[in-house]
Structure 1
Amino acid sequence: MSVDISGVSRRFGAAAALDAVDLSIQAGEFVALLGPSGSGKTTLLRILAGLDFPDRGAVRINGRDVANLPARARGIGFVPQNYALFRHMTVFENVAFGLRIRPRSTRPKDDEIAARVRRLLELVQIPQLENRRPDQISGGQRQRVALARALAIEPSLLLLDEPFSALDAQVRKDLRAWLRTLHERLGITSVLVTHDQDEAMEIADRVAVLRDGRVVQFDTPEALLDHPADAFVAGFLGEANRLDCEVRAGQAHFTDLPLLPLPTTLPDGPATAFVRPADLLASPGGGQWLIRSARPDARGPRLVVSTGEGGPALDAMPQPGWRDAKRGEACGLRILAAQVFPRTP
């Protein structure tokens, strides 16, 4: 099921939650909506779900305009952030709920409902829990129940609103890998709202980065990291050292730091360079930089370096082969690559 969002705007009083948003999602694609708090990602998901409605613009699902269609008429699976399970119902009855409330003319028979629910519980790997209630199972298991309930109505579009936010780190990691596998198995179009960059970059085919109610960039995780559209995306995604510089005659000069200038195509003027830790290389044998800390990493120590007590602390990597870098050592530092953008006020 494809999704096309055209010129969607939504205001709450004087605040613009969404401002002329355009987004096109392909059938069978897994898309993540990522952005800081207040960027509009949850509002956009709620509009897709039919829980809110745009002031302007069109929302088309498989070519059908649903912008003013209520949630119950869209046939969409929705997993809210708090799961919204019925505490007085068993796991089985929670999953069956969406089927039991259908009009009599489209409601499956009881034996068909039971068979479908049990297939789904097998699919989400919790068949042994069907007779328990939500307060008798773990957070990760409740998340699977909520997902099974959303899938019970056989939706072509699955919407997930930060479904892992209440879980601990290891459970989140396990469940997002499992969710990606499930998505591929079912071939369903999925849209995930998350504030977790690792989550979005790990499981989504494409990521829409939102800021102030607008989609700043919509691309694959690799393209977002390698070719950010602007300084906001470069600084928001992944780890990066943010360094002020001045562009003169095709080179970015770091006037306050002992770093060699970098070539750039930007016009002359103030700029900001974003340097990933892997592209900031420390070398032994003395220099104008001092290692403030060194922590173990599979590729060697991860370093924090600075020029002195008042200087900026930068994340860096030791040059290949230098595995015994220690706190307090002097070192040299050079930039291998950077993304440079005009400095914004």
Structure 2
Amino acid sequence: MTIVVSELRRRFGGVAALDGVELSVRSGEFVALLGASGSGKTTLLRALAGLEFPDAGRILIDGRDMASVPARARGIGFVFQNYALFRHMTVAGNIGFGLRIRPWRSRPSRAEIARRVEELLELVRLPGLGGRYPDQLSGGQRQRVALARALAIEPRVLLLDEPFGALDATVRRELRLWLRGLHDRLGLTSLFVTHDQDEALELADRVAVMRDGRVVQCDTPEALLARPADAGVAGFLGDAARLGCEVRGGMAWFAALPPVPAEGVAEGQAVAFLRPVDLLAEPGEGEARVAASRQDGRGVRLTVAVGESLLEAVPAPGWQPRRGEACRVRVLAARVFPA
């Protein structure tokens, strides 16, 4: 199912939560809404679901205008940040709730609902737990129950609001990879809200970066990192260091680093964003010193002191740097914008 949002606006008092949002999602895509708190992510998701009413603009789902379509008729599954499970209902009761409250003409029989619930328990890897209550489950299990309940109505679109926010890091990673696989198997169109850029960049086909109630850029993770639309996006993604520079003759000149190309940027004062993978530290006498070294999931990362700045860099292959050791820093790439 395709989703097209155009000129969507929503105000709460004097605050514009959505300020002319434009977004297009292709059928079967997995799209992340990424941004700081207050950027409009959850309001946009709730507007798509019919839980929030826009002041202006259009929402088209598979070409149909949703303006007069109530939430229950949109064919959308919604997974809330806090799961929103009914504590007095069993797991099976929670999963089958959306089927039991359908109008009687379209309501499945009790036997059909029970069969569907068992299928979903298998799908979300919780077989045999239908008789338990939410308080008897772990956080990760409750998240899967919330997802099964959203899938019970056989939605055309799946919306997830910070689905992994309350889980620890290990469970988060396991569940998000499982969710991506489930999305691909079922062929859903999915949107999920997150403030975790690693999560968004790892899972999504495309990431819509939101700021001040607008989508400022929607692109693949690779394109976002390589070609950010503006300095705000460049500074928000990829743990980039921000350095002042001056553009002269198509090059960005720094106080204590070698210059890099800055094609298409007007001459004058500018700002450059450099991620750790953009900076290569090499052994030898140079302008920098190793301040710290650490190992993470992506390999060795160095903190190097260059002039008055502390920058994250990667070491040259085969080099085992020591704290305080002199080194040279080579700039492999940079995203440069007018100051």
TM-score, reference length from structure 1? 0.95
Letter in 2 for 1:154: E
| 1:69 shift after superposition | 2.6
1:316 to 308, 313, 316: 313
Letter in 2 for 1:306: A
Q: 1:300 to 1:129 in 2, by over 3 A?
A: closer
Between the aligned partners of 1:72 and 1:271, the Cα distance in structure 2 is: 51
What CA deviation, in whole Å up to 9, does each residue of 1:37-86 have, x standing for no partner?
11111100000011101111001111111134321221210001001000
Between the aligned partners of 2:182 and 2:298, the Cα distance in structure 1 is: 32
- 3-state SS of paired residue (1:180): helix
Between the aligned partners of 2:277 and 2:72, the Cα distance in structure 1 is: 49
Q: Percent identity?
A: 67
Partner of 1:217: 217
Letter in 2 for 1:90: T
| 1:285 shift after superposition | 1.9
Between the aligned partners of 1:13 and 1:288, the Cα distance in structure 2 is: 53
| 1:263 shift after superposition | 2.1
Between the aligned partners of 2:138 and 2:244, the Cα distance in structure 1 is: 47
Q: Where does structure 1 differ by over 2 angstroms across 4 or more consecutive aligned residues?
A: 67-70, 296-301
Partner of 1:240: 240
Partner of 2:191: 191
Contact 1:281 1:319 in 2 (8 A): yes
Partner of 2:259: 261
| 1:87 shift after superposition | 0.3
- Bigger drift between 91-100 and 298-307 goes to 298-307
**Matches of residues 14-163 of structure 1 in structure 2 within 5 Å?**
14-163=14-163
- 3-state SS of paired residue (1:23): strand
Partner of 2:300: 301
Gaps of at least 5 residues in structure 1 are none
Between the aligned partners of 1:224 and 1:267, the Cα distance in structure 2 is: 22
Contact 1:300 1:318 in 2 (8 A): no
What CA deviation, in whole Å up to 9, does each residue of 1:145-175 have, x standing for no partner?
0000000011101110001000000000000
Q: 1:75 to 1:299 in 2, by over 3 A?
A: closer
| 1:330 shift after superposition | 1.2
Let me know the Cα RMSD of the aligned residues: 1.3
What CA deviation, in whole Å up to 9, does each residue of 1:102-122 have, x standing for no partner?
111110001100000100000
> Matched residue pairs, number?
338
Letter in 1 for 2:121: L
Letter in 2 for 1:277: P
Partner of 1:288: 287
What CA deviation, in whole Å up to 9, does each residue of 1:286-318 have, x standing for no partner?
22211110113577631101136xx12100111
Between the aligned partners of 2:13 and 2:93, the Cα distance in structure 1 is: 40
TM-score, reference length from structure 2? 0.97
More strand, by proportion: 2
Between the aligned partners of 1:118 and 1:63, the Cα distance in structure 2 is: 34
- 3-state SS of paired residue (2:121): helix
Between the aligned partners of 2:141 and 2:62, the Cα distance in structure 1 is: 32
Partner of 2:337: 341
| 1:194 shift after superposition | 0.6
Between the aligned partners of 1:220 and 1:297, the Cα distance in structure 2 is: 24
Between the aligned partners of 1:72 and 1:93, the Cα distance in structure 2 is: 18
Partner of 2:326: 330
Letter in 2 for 1:293: A
| 1:321 shift after superposition | 1.9
Gaps of at least 5 residues in structure 2 are none
Partner of 2:167: 167
Between the aligned partners of 1:277 and 1:202, the Cα distance in structure 2 is: 18
Between the aligned partners of 1:160 and 1:271, the Cα distance in structure 2 is: 38
Letter in 2 for 1:260: P
